[in-house]
Amino acid sequence: MSKPCPSPRRERAQNSAGSSKTSARACVKTRRRPDGFPRGRRLLNLRCRRRGGRALMPDVPVYPNCNIGCVFCSNPVAGFRGTQDRYDYDQFLKKWRAYMRGEKGVFRKFGDTRDFVNLTGGEPTLHPDFIKILAVIRKSVPGQRIKLLSNARLFRHQGLARLTLDVAQRPFEVAVPMFGHDRRSHESISRAPGSFADTCAGLDNLFACRRPGQKIECRVILTRMQMRVFHRLLPFLLNRFPGFASLELLFVEMEGFAEKYLGRLAISMTECARRLDREYAALRRFKRLRLLHFPLCVVPRRLWPYVWNSLDPKKVTWAPGCGACRARRDCVGIGEGYARHMGLREFKPFAARPKVPRTGNWYHPFARARRRAAGSLKSRPL
């Protein structure tokens, strides 16, 4: 007889030795009280800081531990996982309140450059008080976009998927990484037996329980290992999960665990972009496509409308010729980790400004052109 599927609470306990546990009764109370504060505690009147009419939102590291072991993980090899005592509910409240009061340096990554809340990890859903944390954030920023980065393994429990979506309200997004089209290809990268089936089941539940204004997107981290199966991954995603709102393709950040396994992962940006271009027909079938962490000079021109700039400026460097490049103002630059391990020789400046329709948005600088009539072009944002 097969063993019963463990509950989300039991899995969290297994991944957070020494941390507080959330009882089933507490989960029920959280559902009745979606603000996330214990009974009797006065609710905070938290307001979102703004600059120039745009809300400024951080990357919020919810929990350091994870239930997969991706070879490309950019988190530190030491000093991050196993530090769950620094991420308990009380510590989160202290940081979040400080941030909402306008204090600087509370969240180190993108503390002043994002207009949405980005929940990261480790795996955020492993936190014993994940639902309470999510409720606090939603109470603080009603109507603001919240994005959860999750491998979706725990969402195979439909109750957790439904509760998460209920508390998150809208607008809300869940970004889920996929590494392969079958168990072998996926788990060769996740290094977690059973993770392929769990993630697929979690995605099924998210799609079944989502409401209008709630989106599910797929993320693919581009490495040498990934590009070997990329041509088979795309048809799988299109056929198995046609409900994905977008596909995000991110070139690997060569830091943390990714540095440790660089021998398996390293591929030049030029070669990676060339292989992406081979799959242009399949890529265009996705509802929305984003290509991230690529300098413009290595990207084939027809992929430029899909380029988005999102790298932390603190982690970016430039090649010697970049200062004279006529496309620099629209370029994300070169990740420092990539420059350190792969060099800068492949990056060449543009002597003339490329004639590609622009959006006026630095984060998404280029528009896709479509032909309206013979001899005329009109651009429209993606």
169 with 134: CB under 8 angstroms? no
Q: How much of the chain exceeds pLDDT 70, in percent?
A: 79
Output the pLDDT for position 346: 98
Output the pLDDT for position 373: 41
pLDDT band at 37 (very low <50, low <70, confident <90, very high): very low
pLDDT at 41 over 70: no
Output the pLDDT for position 46: 38
pLDDT at 188 over 70: yes
Phi, psi for 152 (deg, rounded to 5):
70, 10
266 with 284: CB under 8 angstroms? no
Q: Which of 46-60, 176-190, 202-216, 306-320 has the lowest mean pLDDT?
A: 46-60
274 vs 371, higher pLDDT? 274
35 vs 168, higher pLDDT? 168
pLDDT at 184 over 90: yes
pLDDT band at 40 (very low <50, low <70, confident <90, very high): very low
Instruction: Write out the CATH class of domain 8-267.
Output: alpha beta
pLDDT at 74 over 90: no
pLDDT band at 116 (very low <50, low <70, confident <90, very high): confident
* Burial zone of 236 (CB within 10 Å; 0-12 exposed, 13-18 middle, 19+ buried): middle
Output the pLDDT for position 312: 82
Encoding tokens for residue 61?
């590291």
Average pLDDT, the chain: 85
Mean pLDDT for 28-43 is: 35
For residue 77, the 8-state DSSP code is: S
Radius of gyration for the alpha carbons in the chain, expressed in angstroms and rounded: 21
What does the alpha-carbon distance between residue 192 and residue 186 come to, in Å, rounded to a whole number?
9
Output the pLDDT for position 6: 66
pLDDT at 55 over 50: no
pLDDT tens digit sequence for 86-107: 999 999 999 999 988 888 888 8
Output the pLDDT for position 336: 96
Provide the b/e sequence for 329-343 (b: ≥16 CB within 10 Å): ebbbbbbbbbbeebe
DSSP H helical ranges for 175-330: 183-190, 195-209, 224-240, 257-260, 262-265, 269-278, 280-283
pLDDT at 113 over 50: no
pLDDT at 13 over 90: no
Output the pLDDT for position 23: 35
What does the alpha-carbon distance between residue 124 and residue 133 come to, in Å, rounded to a whole number?
10
Mean pLDDT for 234-252 is: 98
165 with 210: CB under 8 angstroms? yes
What does the alpha-carbon distance between residue 317 and residue 323 come to, in Å, rounded to a whole number?
11
The SS3 assignment for 283 reads: helix
pLDDT at 378 over 70: no
Mean pLDDT for 144-163 is: 98
Output the pLDDT for position 108: 65
pLDDT at 381 over 60: no
Q: Scan for tokens 């999960």, then name that residue.
A: 241
266 vs 37, higher pLDDT? 266
Phi, psi for 368 (deg, rounded to 5):
-90, 135
* pTM greater than 0.75: yes
